[in-house]
Structure 1
Amino acid sequence: MTSNEVLAMYENIAALSGRMAVAAQDGDFDGLARLETQVSLQVSATKSGVPPLEGVQRLRKIDLLKQIMANDRAVRDVTEPWHGQIERAMSAH
């Protein structure tokens, strides 16, 4: 995997995670699940070995990772309270 391919992969993950945040905020949990599957496939590619980046490319990767983490936080802000509601409902029975 070349450094350009690495950045393209992270850019794709960042874009998908942004779409996940929108889907969560819109209550589109089916769409969220589909996007989560796509992200999982992309992330699995990182496990096969990603070359280290340097200089400007490394800084771009860091920016993309920050975007991905912010999008993940936005998804969790929507889904965690929902999960809590389900857990409470299930424990009430």
Structure 2
Amino acid sequence: MNSLELISLYENVATITGNMLEAARSGNWELLGQLEHDCSSRVQTLRENEIPFDLPADMRDKKIRIIKKILADDKEIRDLTEPWMAQLSDLMKNSSTTRKLSRAYGAGSSA
């Protein structure tokens, strides 16, 4: 992978994380999941193909800016999704508790 391909792939990941952030902001969890899958695939490609080599200073600076944007988007996505995930977890626990109580005490049976 040459330096232009590398930067292009990083830019692609940054675009996807930007789209993920917009999906999280709007509460579109299904789209967020699809984009996360796409992003993971691109990141895996980076891991498998990025060869350590010295980039020219301008490209290195660009790569750093892109990575900082990706990290900032990721942080904001986590800030938006963690409360939702906690709420979902609570709902699942409550649902599980309700089912267990129903089984234990025979919901709907007459006393």
Do they superpose with TM above 0.5?
yes
Partner residue, 2:69: 67
Which of structures 1 and 2 has the bigger CA Rg?
Answer: 2
Gaps of 5+ in 2: 98-111
Partner residue, 1:9: 9
Quote how far apart the aligned CAs of 1:74 are.
Answer: 1.5
Equivalent residue pairs, number: 93
Partner residue, 1:49: 49
Gaps of 5+ in 1: none
Partner residue, 2:109: none
Partner residue, 1:34: 34
Map Cα deviations across residues 56-82 of structure 1 (whole Å, 9 max, x no partner). 111100000000011111111110001
Quote how far apart the aligned CAs of 1:83 are.
Answer: 1.1
Letter in 2 for 1:62: I
Q: Tell me the secondary structure at the aligned position of residue 47 of structure 1.
A: helix
Map Cα deviations across residues 16-70 of structure 1 (whole Å, 9 max, x no partner). 0000000000011111011111101100111213133231111100000000011
Letter in 2 for 1:73: K
Q: Which has the higher contact order (CA 8 A, sep 6+)?
A: 1
Output the aligned Cα RMSD.
1.3
Q: Does 1:20 align with 2:24?
A: no
Of 73, 77, 80, which aligns to 2:79?
77
